[in-house]
Structure 1
Amino acid sequence: MLPSAFYHWKEQTWDLYLVDSFALDQASNTYTVKIKSDLTWSDGKPITAQDYLTTFWCQWVLGSPLWDYIDKIAAPDDHTFTMKMNQPAPVVERYLLHSNIIPTQQYGDIAEQARKIAEGGGSASSEPAAALNTKLVKYQPENYIASGPFTIDYKSMSNSQLTLIKNTHGYAADRVKFDRIVIYNGETPEISPLVLSKDIDYATNGFPVASAKQFESLGYEILRPPTYSGPALYMSFDKQPEFTDVRVRQALNHAIDHARNGSTALGSSGKPTKYYSGFSDFLVDAWVSPDQKSALNDYGYDQDKAASLLEAAGWKRSGNSWRLPNGKAAAYELLFPSDYADWSGAAKDLGEQLTKFGIPIKLRGVVSTQQPINVYKSDFQLAIQAWGNSAQPYPYFSFVAAFLNYNYPLAKNNGGRGIDYALKRNVAGFGKVDIQKLIEATGSGTDQDTLIANTTKLARIFNAELPIIPLFERLGNSPALNGVRVKNFPTNDDPLITNSLYADNLVILAMLSGELEPVAK
């Protein structure tokens, strides 16, 4: 299923797919989308504005943040869809155009029930909506109905792979030059052997440095698009109250050689962070006021500075180790997802660095399906989890990831308080702040100067506070094999290389545009 459009992250422009146009009427805070008139689903039924209603009512059932910003959707005719905002917000455009549109013939009944609950005064957290949410989450259609150039070959499906076959009715089917795509499922340990055997032409896993070098020796080119995210060091402020002193967090950041950590984990794809703004360095020029960028501390590797900050916070050296103000030894367990090869490498190197600095680290690896649950439930001292946002080009979403995702406002949905970092606090240079309200301000309004000012303020607060400590920014290290089944993949010089690896992927865009070609038989 395709979205209405794909985004060009650097140019901040859209490639329109299912729609001919979109426009915002600022007077009424209403977006209007004009849907292409000649589109059909793979079952032959037309794609209409009703499918847009179905899509966004189902998002209401699922509790999408979109509905915090809108209060009405409508379909004036078969090819016109409107979305009215209750407050201007740039993130609405992303939700509107980048949501995968789903078919009414499968999800329409649930969407209609959602509409009746909402228009009857019920909320998405009401009992009827919760029951409908459960029904939607458990719903498994008998067949996949596609809007794009491929559909699923059900005979090929297994736990490890599936095959996509051409959907001749789909959008861009006339441009796409491949008739069949085999998709393999698995984390890095499962996918690596398939790359080595050249059964895979392109992969997006986080491969270790040694594996990437092996792939290059076999003829693969390594593509390095940004992911706008990476691993970060999380601290339990409840279990380890010494971390509530901002000087301790700043000291830890100075004590870590981030360039070494990134290189150890991912080689050239582990890029040390420069600005520590809470979002990707690739977005800083667009979202931080030029006169304020120099105010962001780059936290250069400086263990003398780290020691000075710890001593100011009451820590004391004892031989080759550190003791807390209460006299206890500073020693911690570091929880990391054991099946993520790149994050595992980052965790092991971080443990070595801090241990050598005098803070012994014991590593505890847990599979990635369980490790986030431990973090949500505050069952950790230190942990590796994500910072940034690979799916959204607005800093707002990265701030949500940094301050909220694994903190008490959202961790409570998973039975815990996460890092338990207080969001109402005094911040040097800013006084008393309510960080949750500041986050909302970075996603509200349409005046770009105001949005930049709000984003700049919160970037400076993140930079000073370091509620989590980004270790490095992950670039893709995606092996791409030219000349076997695919003539030529995009290169690292392609203008679209700045698109996020996991959102508006440049290889998918190249395929949908027809630029990606098979090797001539």
Structure 2
Amino acid sequence: DLTVTVVYTEVFPGVDHGVLKTQVLPHARYGEWMDQAAELVASGVVQGDPEQSALSEQIAAEDFLDDGMPVTCGAYKFEEIGETVVTFSVHSDGLFADQVNFDTVEVQKGDNAASVQMLLNREVDYSTQVLGATDRQTIAGVEGLKEISTPGYDGIGLMLNQGRFPEFADVRVRKAFMYVFDTEIIGEIAKGAGGYYIPATYTGLPDPHAEGLFDDVELEYYASDHDKATSLLEEAGWTKEDDGWHKPDGALAEYEIIGIDGWTDFALTGEQAMSQLNEFGFTITYRNLPDDGNQWGTWGAGDFDIAVRQWANPFVPYVYGSWQMAWFTDNANTADAPGMGIPTDAVETQTQGTVNVDELYLKAQKGTEAEQAEANKQLGIVFNETLPRLPLFLNQRVTYAIEGERVEKVDSGAYELNDVYFDNPIMIRILDGSIEPA
């Protein structure tokens, strides 16, 4: 019964994506919880604090059902909700209901191990799990197995805590780290063959977004070069002694890398990064945080030395999503949430002078395509020269389907550039009727 009209005073290409991704919730149902959340934020509570966890547990305990089932407006409605299986049936009056080809859709809950077993037994027609190399080998001989490979827009890298360790502010040190790593080995171990790709440019962008943007720019390409790493550290005043690398103040360079328990690609990346850095002479340890939700607060609070974390674009399929991740995610630079501790208002660069990343980030989101491209180009150069995050590899999303059991054919179609973590192409093709019964 209500219409909300939003007027923009400047051109903002891509705003429709953000609007469509926004889940609008009724205050009558959620207002009480959100009032409590607002009070917690105002009092300085951050993600992972006991107060936030307690509120989340209260919300999780609420079933939010209307007459036994949630309200739906799409092609399918809830038929049955179990502990591990949710069954949907066609909602005849719903959006796209006249396009879908299946009367019933089942969604199974399961981790990688459960997904592998379901695929082996041909119990599912598509798995959204991104499986590791060992799991992919296990299912290789399944009848009707279809591998679906789509380019990822995000990757795995490292965050250096500049707020805790001022020596990380020297770009020569950050570059030295990059020249230590053999990223092909790290990607192969963490994701397996076909599960990763090395970026064509180290500009902070995934390859689909970087293509053509830097053709007339000479960029630094970071491949393993220990002589180069040594030279950069020595230029920065570091010295190599019998017990390892020492910082300009004479202290031994000792750091801890943290990953997440159960996030296999994170853990393997962190362990391999530790190993390669130690072989080069650093003193590095590795530790997994429990996967209990508190890691989000740990990153934001800057409670780490070096952390395995995403880079590039895990948020929105527009170039500016990479800048959000590179400079602003886990880098609020506030007293309560210092994050990486990297300044963004005045960034010193070799070729661009002093750059205000805050202002350029806004320019990258609005204005004409040419204006955005110019801002994106400059930000890519700044990333390449200063490395606010250390980019190791990008994810190639490999998922699996079973053809011939219940479904005739499964492919990503025209949606192949969609990341499986954004608008999953298989889900979209079910809704538009492109996937048909066997």
TM-score with structure 2 setting the length: 0.85
Matched, 1:408 2:332: yes
Q: CA deviation at 1:460?
A: 0.5
Q: Per-residue deviation at 1:227?
A: 2.5
Residue in 1 that maps onto 2:160: 235
Partner-residue secondary structure (3-state), 1:212: helix
Deviation digits for residues 398-418 of structure 1 (CA, Å, limit 9, x no counterpart):
211110110025x76xx4211
Matching residue of 2:136: 212
Q: CA deviation at 1:315?
A: 1.4
Distance, in Å, in 2 between the alignment partners of 1:289 and 1:242 is 30
After superposition, the Cα gap between the structure-2 partners of 1:187 and 1:308, relative to the gap in structure 1 and judged at 3 Å, is farther
Change (3 A) 1:515 1:91: closer
| 2:407 pairs with 1:482 | no
Shift of 1:235: 0.8
Q: Deviations over 1:13-71 (max 9, x none)?
A: xxxxxxxxxxxxxxxxxxxxxxxxxxxxxxxxxxxxx57x4xxxxxxxxxxxxxxxxxx
In the alignment, what sits opposite 1:341? 264
Structure 2 matches for 1:52-71, cutoff 5 A? 53=3
| 1:62-211 matched pairs, under 5 angstroms | 73-74=4-5, 83-96=6-19, 98-99=20-21, 107=26, 141-143=64-66, 144-153=70-79, 155-158=80-83, 160-211=84-135
Gaps of 5+ in 2: 32-40, 44-54
Deviation of 1:454 (Å): 0.8
Aligned amino acid, residue 441 of structure 1: K
Shift in Å, 1:251 = 0.9
What letter matches 1:357 in structure 2? F
Q: 1:498-520 CA distances to partner (integer Å, 9 max, x unpaired)?
A: 2222112221222122111122x
Rounded Cα–Cα distance in structure 2 between residues aligned with 1:147 and 1:405: 33
Corresponding residue number in structure 1 for 2:321? 397
Deviations 1:171-225 (A, max 9, x none): 2112211222222334434544333443332223332211112122224332221
Separation of aligned partners in 2, 1:391 and 1:92? 13
> 2:178 corresponds to which residue?
253
Q: Using the aligned pairs only, state the percent identity.
A: 24
1:498 aligns to what?
Answer: 417
Q: 1:367 to 1:185 in 2, by over 3 A?
A: farther
Distance 2:315 2:140 in 1: 28
Q: Supply the RMSD in Å over aligned alpha carbons.
A: 2.7
Inter-partner Cα distance in structure 2 for 1:408 and 1:311: 31
Q: Give the aligned partner of residue 312 of structure 2.
A: 388
Is 1:244 aligned to 2:163, yes or no?
no
Deviation at 1:304, TM superposition (A): 1.4
Offset at 1:420? 0.7
- CA 1:406/1:126 → structure 2, altered by over 3 Å: closer, same or farther? closer
Secondary structure, in 3 states, of the residue corresponding to 1:273? coil
Query: Does residue 224 in structure 1 map to residue 149 in structure 2?
Result: yes
Name 2:428's counterpart in structure 1: 509
Letter in 1 for 2:88: L
Q: What one-letter code is carried by the residue in structure 2 that aligns with 1:430?
A: Q
> Which range moved further: 508-517 or 192-201?
192-201
Q: CA deviation at 1:86?
A: 2.4
Distance 1:518 1:391 in 2: 33
1:476 match: secondary structure:
strand
SS of 2:428's equivalent in the other structure is: helix
- Superposed, 1:304-453 pairs within 5 Å as 304-319=227-242, 321-368=244-291, 369-409=293-333, 415-423=336-344, 424-445=346-367, 447-453=368-374
CA deviations 1:99-129 (Å, max 9, x no partner) are 3675xxx7275899xxxxxxxxxxxx999xx
Residue 126 of structure 2 aligns to a residue in which SS? coil
1:298 aligns to 2:208 (yes or no):
no
Q: What SS class does the counterpart of residue 380 from structure 1 fall into?
A: coil
Q: Against the structure 1 CA distance between its residues 192 and 362, is the aligned structure 2 distance closer, same or farther, given a 3 Å change threshold?
A: farther
Find the counterpart in structure 2 of residue 28 from structure 1: none
Pick closer, same or farther for the CA change 1:237–1:321 going to 2, 3 Å.
same
Alignment correspondent of 1:265: 190
Partner of 2:52: none
8 Å Cα contact 1:216/1:222 also seen in 2: no
Q: Deviations over 1:447-482 (max 9, x none)?
A: 111110011001100111101111110011212221
Of 271, 277, 285, 2:203 maps to 277
Contact 1:207 1:341 in 2 (8 A): no
Aligned residue for 1:85, secondary structure, equals coil
Paired positions, count: 409
Paired with 2:23 and 2:300, the residues of 1 have a C-alpha distance of 31
Sort the Cα spacing of 1:299 and 1:450 in 2 relative to 1 into closer, same or farther, 3 A: same
Unaligned runs of 5+ in 1: 1-49, 54-72, 75-82, 113-124, 128-133
2:163 counterpart letter in structure 1: D
Say if 1:188 and 1:250 are closer, same or farther in 2 by CA, change over 3 A.
same
Aligned to 1:291, the other structure's residue is in SS state coil
TM-superposed CA distance for 1:263, in Å, is 1.3
**8 Å CA contact 2:164, 2:305 repeated in 1:** yes
For the Cα contact (< 8 Å) 1:204–1:478, is it kept in 2?
Answer: yes
